[in-house]
Amino acid sequence: MQIKLGQNLLGANAAVAGEIRRLMEEKGLLLLNLMSSPGAGKTTLLEKTLAAVKERLRVAVIEGDVATTKDAERIARLGIPVVQINTHGACHLDAAMVRDVLPAFDLDNLDLLIVENVGNLVCPAEFDLGEAMKVVVLSTTEGNDKVPKYPLMFREAGALLLNKIDLLPFTDFRLDELAADLGQIHPGLPRFDLSARTGEGMDRWIDWLSNQAEERRRR
Amino acid sequence: MHEMALMESLVDVLAREADRHNIARIKKVKLTVGALTHALPDALQFAFTVLREQPLFAPEAELEIEERETRGRCGSCGVEFAVEGNFGFLCPDCGGFAIEIIQGRELQIDYFEGD
């Protein structure tokens, strides 16, 4: 017997993501999904971002990691509510993992919830977490080829952070090539060139992010 | 890794649907996979050979995959076109860049067979 289905393989994930999205809208809370390759500097960037935005916004973090709690410990030191999800080998978070940790937060008293996804440019792009926005971090030391090699991630992103611009003189990364590639794959994508380590360019990103969260709260 | 996670989702869906239709053993599954998903057919096939060890599947169960190229539709002039190398999201006719993805993101279970 043949059974016709015609249904999305990730239908169950999409349904949970939809629930999360509705909940976040109801609470006026901006859920942000932060993604990058391993080593792009996501956690440092997040630490610096949180230290700045916590003056303006009530913020919390969900840390995704394959096995350790190292990143969550770094965030907790800032006095920010953080929950660690260990994926036990899986290369991405899925919507059910996020839903299951939401009760750990006081959602009525938050403006911004940031999910730091597992470092990986392929799988996280495929799994909707119910986020309002995906933010992708690319670092100058990774080379220009990440954009054409992982187009879905850059296509789906709502903002691109180019990190480690302090290292530009020591790499062969080219800003004009990045601009040309993004022009092909995602014209108009908001882009912030910055260095989380030196703080250069961070203000523009933090203002933009804070405005996004404040706009959502007012809605 | 990605493909294994996708195939685990496949097993979840199939287990539920097989139960609903009183199918004890699945013999064939047909998927449509878009190029933009980064799901590699060979890796999906490999993951399937691991997962078909489960009692839900007949030992010789097969997976058929239909691949779909990425296609876009221009928001300015309406032309539909193949997105070369998954990368050129620019209209080949008018140069417009408000491109809607109309094909290539599929990860769809078309049907399954069993008894």
Q: Which domains are seen in chain B, by residue range?
A: 2-69+104-114 (3.30.2320.50)
Name every residue in B having a CB less than 8 A away from some CB of A.
1-2, 5-6, 9-10, 12-13, 17, 21, 23, 31, 36-39, 85-90, 97, 101, 107-115
Strand partners of residue B113 = A2, B28
Q: What is the pLDDT of residues A36-64, one digit of tens each?
A: 999 999 999 999 999 999 999 999 999 98
Nearest CA in chain B to A152: B36
CA distance B17 to chain A (A): 9
Q: Do B113 and A2 touch (CB under 8 A)?
A: yes
DSSP track, A74-125: HHHTTT--EEEEE-TT-SS--HHHHHHHGGGS-GGG-SEEEEE--S-SSHHH
Domains of chain A: 5-218 (3.40.50.300)
Q: What is the pLDDT of residues B5-51, one digit of tens each?
A: 889 889 999 999 999 999 999 999 999 999 998 899 999 999 999 99
Report residue B56's pLDDT band, with 50, 70 and 90 as the boundaries.
Answer: very high
CB pairs under 8 A between A and B: 97
Q: Residue type for A219, please? A: R
Among the partner residues B13, B36, B90, nearest to A152 by beta-carbon distance: B36
ipTM: 0.85
Among the partner residues A3, A12, A91, nearest to B112 by beta-carbon distance: A3
Write down the pLDDT at residue A132.
97
Q: pTM of the predicted model, to two decimals?
A: 0.90
Q: Is the pLDDT of residue B4 over 90?
A: no
Write down the pLDDT at residue A211.
96
CA distances (Å), B18 to each of A7, A8, B62, B111, in order?
14, 16, 16, 11
A-interface mutation test, from B19, B100, B108, B113, most A Cβ less than 10 A away: B108
Write down the pLDDT at residue B73.
97
Residue B104 backbone zone (phi > 0: left; psi -120 to 50: alpha; other: beta): left
CA distances (Å), A83 to each of A66, A128, B48, in order?
14, 19, 33
Question: What is the three-class DSSP state of B34?
Answer: strand
Write down the pLDDT at residue A173.
98
Do the Cβ atoms of A127 and A20 come closer than 8 Å? Answer: no
Residues in chain B, total: 115
Q: Do B13 and A13 touch (CB under 8 A)?
A: no
* Known binding positions of B for Ni(2+): 2
Alpha helices in chain B (DSSP H): 2-20, 41-51
Report residue B1's pLDDT band, with 50, 70 and 90 as the boundaries.
Answer: low
Write down the pLDDT at residue B93.
95
Write down the pLDDT at residue A89.
72
CA distance A149 to chain B (A): 9
Residues of chain A short of pLDDT 50, as ranges, are none
B-chain residues near A157 (CB < 8 A):
none
- Distance CA(A115)–CA(A99), nearest Å, equals 12
When the pLDDT of each residue in chain B is averaged and rounded to a whole number, the result is 93
Q: What's the token pair of residue A210?
A: 């804070």
Write down the pLDDT at residue A18.
97
